[in-house]
Amino acid sequence: MNEYNDDIEIVVADASYEKYVDVILQTIADSAAKRGSGIATRTHEYLATKMKECKAVIALAGPEKEFAGFCYIESWGNKAYVANSGLIVVEKFRKHHLATRIKMMAFTLSRLRWPHAKIFGLTSQTAVMRINHALGYRPVAFSELTDDDAFWRGCGTPGHPCCVNFDVLQRSDRRYCVCTGMLYDPAEHEGEPLPIQLPDEVVQKIKKLAELESKTN
């Protein structure tokens, strides 16, 4: 991942990165307003918790460690499904494969922590489709995605539509919408290597968390 040589570091966030949460939320909100799209409601607390749980990836640029990009991980349907959500790259850092690098790390993290989970996403962005496709996702009908209501509430509810297209999703009874559903099924990729290697200490930490989680479930 260092082949880019652009002095941007991409790391699995922990509690010490909470100071970036407000700028992340602002960047996501500004970008959604500019695109005229809706946005799933996320609070400071929600993203801070993702960091504390090692379920977020952050990119920081230069010696000043300026915020450059972000993505977090959510699990659904009792961890049978995992989504890499909230992907954002600050405008001036776009088109340098930063989103690709962030997603590669979030994907690797997801594969290590929930090796049997299907990884999926909803997107209307060409860039995200390209990245997902390269990681092994394929486009699927919404019926192949999680049926966990909590996930779909991210698009909105009748009383509180989050996405501008929520009415389409509602009219189709969740069968289709403007976004494309994409899914990575680990059963179709047995024995394939992970896209990147995470630092040893991160791998150990993730394995411990996975072990703990499997004991408490």
Residues near ligand COA (CB under 6 A) are 31, 87-89, 94-100, 123, 125-128, 130-131
Residue 3 Cβ, how far from ligand COA at the closest point, in Å?
A: 14
User: Cα(4)–Cα(101) distance, rounded to whole angstroms?
Assistant: 10
Overall residue count recorded for the chain in this entry: 217
- H/E run at residue 156: strand 156-157
User: Which residue's structure tokens are 């915020």?
Assistant: 67
**Amino acid (one-letter) located at 196:** I
Q: Residue 120's beta-bridge partner residues?
A: 83, 183
Residue 22 Cβ, how far from ligand COA at the closest point, in Å?
A: 17
- Going through 52-154 in order, the beta strands assigned E by DSSP cover 56-61, 66-76, 81-89, 118-123, 138-140
| Closer to ligand COA by Cβ: residue 48 or 122 | 122
Residue 27 Cβ, how far from ligand COA at the closest point, in Å?
A: 8
| Closer to ligand COA by Cβ: residue 90 or 206 | 90
Burial class (CB in 10 A: 0-12, 13-18, 19+), 88: buried
Residue 131 Cβ, how far from ligand COA at the closest point, in Å?
A: 5
| Closer to ligand COA by Cβ: residue 32 or 210 | 32
Residue 123 Cβ, how far from ligand COA at the closest point, in Å?
A: 4
| Closer to ligand COA by Cβ: residue 127 or 140 | 127
| Closer to ligand COA by Cβ: residue 46 or 205 | 46
Contact 40, 46 (CB under 8 A): no
